[in-house]
Structure formats: structure tokens, C-alpha cells
């Protein structure tokens, strides 16, 4: 039987056949599994679901059920640094060890949700308080429950500037529509003022894309230093390729936030403002 991919000396028609098979294989891989792994996944259709974290390690089995944490609601009021450094929330769901006890003792959610702290002119309701009504419990423990949340994404973000996807948080801050709090009395450490680091460009690993303009200042204001270094960006030899899109898609480096909470990885122009080399 004559097979077109036979390793023997090939005729022209065999070569064409081989090329077709190869092309078909490349096309298949590109459009199916390979693409699913190595292309940025589109963010959720509803921007309200972007950055949603389900926390359920301590409350699911016997208690009021898992907590739905909305990043959009909290990031409008606090810097990333305040929650992930000063309060000590881990960057992965269920990794912080949040319990009703830690909340009642004024840590984790209870750092703000203590029934006393005033933020934005309002007293923040107490989390996991023994005096809480079930309505209060349901405000956080809301997975699968309808009409229990006080804020809806649409109403809350109505006046905030919109970006390529969802809210343009940088613009919101620049326009003073939001003023994220970066210090919590009794929790935060009084620090010396931040020494801003200059912005720099990062050469793209793909030759057809212009470099990334990385704003160290913008990132440091929101995140502080220790949120990114050394865990997400450890020291590495200069030749190390660590900013490739493949690694970002895997959730490493920029992908630790972008693609999960910060604007999605397929908002190419946000990081590569000059786009591909043929654009400009």
C-alpha cells in the first residue's frame, strides 16, 4: 500500500501530500488543544464575574456556605497592597486561613468589617459577629443565593470610566473617581514614603511586537514592593526569559494578576501600547 508519508524517496505528489498533512496537523493544533493552552483565555462575558473569588474552606460544610468575594467592590476602596500585604490575604483562594474566629478577632475580613470602622463615611458591618442577623451573613456567604448582596456591579460601577474590558481602574483613580485607602489604623505599619522607581521597557519575546512599557510607579503605588518581589518576580539572570506570554498565560509573572483581577491578558494594547510592528 502506498502511503503518502512513507519515508522512502518521495515523488512530487507525495511531497504535496506530506505538506498537506503537516499543514492540517499545524492547523488542528493551532485551533484546538494547543491554542486552548497557549492563547489567553477570554475573560468572563460579564465583567462583574471577573476577579470573583469563592472562599469556602471553613464555612461550607456546616456553616452558612461559601463566601463570594468581589474584587471590583473592594478594589474601588482599597489598594491591592493594603489587603494582600498589611492584612495578609494570600493571592490564592482558600490559602489565607480565614475563619469566623480570625474575623471576630479583627483580622482578615474583620480588619475592616468590625462594625466600628468608618470607611467612606459609613460604618462597615461586622463580619461573623455573633450578633449578626442572617441577612448580614448572607451578604458575604452568598454563593447560590439570590438578592442577598447589597451592591450590584452595574449600579456600583455606573459612574466609573470603562476600559477595553470592564472598568478602567487606572483612569478611575486618575480622575479621582476612586481614592483607594492604603493605610489601616491598628493594622498597617507606618512606612517611610515610597521611593518611586523609573518606568522601563521590556523587550517582547515575540519579534513582531513592540516592547512593553512597564510603569514601575503605577504598579508600586497599588501593590507596594513585597507583593511582587520576590514571590512573583524573583531575582533572575538578565538572560532569563520570564516575561513570555506563555508563562503569563500559565498564571506566572504578569499573569499572577493580569488575567485574574487586573485587566486581562488579551487586552494587548494595554501593555504593548505601540502594538505589533506593522501597526506603527
Partner 1 sequence: MFRLIVFAMLLSTGLAAVGGVLAIGQASSSRSQSTARQEGWRKEFDDICSKTQDAMTVSKEELTVLISRCDALKPKLEKLDETRKKVYLERLRMCRGLYAYVLESKEKNDK
234 counts as binding partner 1 under rule CB under 8 A: yes
Q: Which of 13, 235 has the CB closer to partner 1?
A: 235
- Separation CA 252–CA 76 (nearest Å): 25
Q: For residues 147-158, b (16+ Cβ closer than 10 Å) or e, as one string?
A: ebeeeebeebbe
The percent of the chain in helix, strand and coil, each rounded to the nearest 5, is 30, 10, 60
197 counts as binding partner 1 under rule CB under 8 A: yes
Q: Which of 75, 81 has the CB closer to partner 1?
A: 81
At a CB cut-off of 8 Å and minimum separation 6, what does 78 contact? 112, 180, 181, 182
Q: Which of 17, 225 has the CB closer to partner 1?
A: 225
Q: Which of 17, 184 has the CB closer to partner 1?
A: 184
Shortest reach from residue 153's CB to partner 1, in Å = 30
Q: Which of 191, 199, 200, 217 binds partner 1 (CB under 8 A)?
A: 191
Binding mask 81-110 toward partner 1 (x if CB under 8 A, else -) reads ----xxxx-x------x---xx--x-xx--
Helices (H), 148-280: 153-156, 169-174, 216-223, 245-249, 268-271
231 counts as binding partner 1 under rule CB under 8 A: yes
- Window 206 to 225, contacts with partner 1 (CB under 8 A): 224-225
Phi first, then psi: give them for residue 145, nearest 5 degrees: -105, 140
Cell triple for 5: 508519508
The single residue listed with the C-alpha cell 507596594 is 224
Looking only at the bridges linking them, the beta strands covering 67-70 and 52-55 are antiparallel
Q: Which of 111, 167 has the CB closer to partner 1?
A: 111
Task: Give the CA-trace dihedral at 173, 160, 70, 101, to 10 degrees.
Answer: 50
Shortest reach from residue 176's CB to partner 1, in Å = 23
Q: Which of 9, 176, 190, 280 binds partner 1 (CB under 8 A)?
A: 190
Q: Which of 130, 134 has the CB closer to partner 1?
A: 130
157 counts as binding partner 1 under rule CB under 8 A: no
- The binding site for partner 1 (CB under 8 A) comprises 85-88, 90, 97, 101-102, 105, 107-108, 189-195, 197, 224-227, 229-231, 234-235
Amino acid at each position: 500500500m502506498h502511503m503518502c508519508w512513507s519515508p522512502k524517496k518521495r515523488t512530487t505528489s507525495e511531497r504535496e501530500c506530506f505538506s498537506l498533512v503537516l499543514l492540517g496537523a499545524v492547523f488542528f493544533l493551532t485551533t484546538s488543544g494547543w491554542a486552548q493552552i497557549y492563547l489567553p483565555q477570554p475573560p468572563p462575558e460579564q465583567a462583574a464575574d471577573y476577579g470573583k473569588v469563592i472562599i469556602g474552606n471553613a464555612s461550607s460544610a456546616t456553616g452558612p456556605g461559601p463566601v463570594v468575594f468581589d474584587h471590583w467592590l473592594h478594589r474601588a476602596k482599597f489598594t491591592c497592597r493594603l489587603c494582600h500585604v498589611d492584612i495578609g490575604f494570600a493571592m490564592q483562594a482558600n490559602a489565607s486561613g480565614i475563619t469566623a474566629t480570625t474575623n471576630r478577632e479583627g483580622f482578615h475580613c474583620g480588619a475592616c468589617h468590625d462594625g466600628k470602622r468608618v470607611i467612606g463615611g459609613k460604618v462597615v458591618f461586622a463580619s461573623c459577629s455573633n450578633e449578626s442577623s442572617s441577612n448580614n451573613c448572607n451578604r458575604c456567604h452568598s454563593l447560590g443565593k439570590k438578592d442577598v448582596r447589597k451592591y450590584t456591579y452595574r449600579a456600583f460601577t455606573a459612574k466609573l470610566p470603562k476600559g477595553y474590558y470592564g472598568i478602567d481602574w487606572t483612569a478611575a483613580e486618575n480622575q479621582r473617581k476612586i481614592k483607594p485607602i492604603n493605610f489601616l489604623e491598628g493594622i498597617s505599619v507606618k512606612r517611610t514614603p515610597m521611593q518611586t522607581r523609573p518606568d522601563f521597557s521590556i523587550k517582547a519575546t515575540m519579534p513582531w511586537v513592540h516592547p512593553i512599557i512597564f510603569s514601575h510607579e503605577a504598579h508600586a503605588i497599588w501593590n507596594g514592593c513585597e507583593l511582587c518581589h520576590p514571590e512573583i518576580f524573583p531575582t533572575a539572570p538578565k538572560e532569563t526569559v520570564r516575561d513570555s506570554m506563555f508563562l503569563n498565560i500559565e498564571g506566572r509573572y504578569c499573569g499572577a494578576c493580569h488575567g485574574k483581577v487586573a485587566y486581562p491578558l488579551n487586552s494587548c494594547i494595554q501593555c504593548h501600547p505601540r502594538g505589533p510592528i506593522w501597526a506603527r
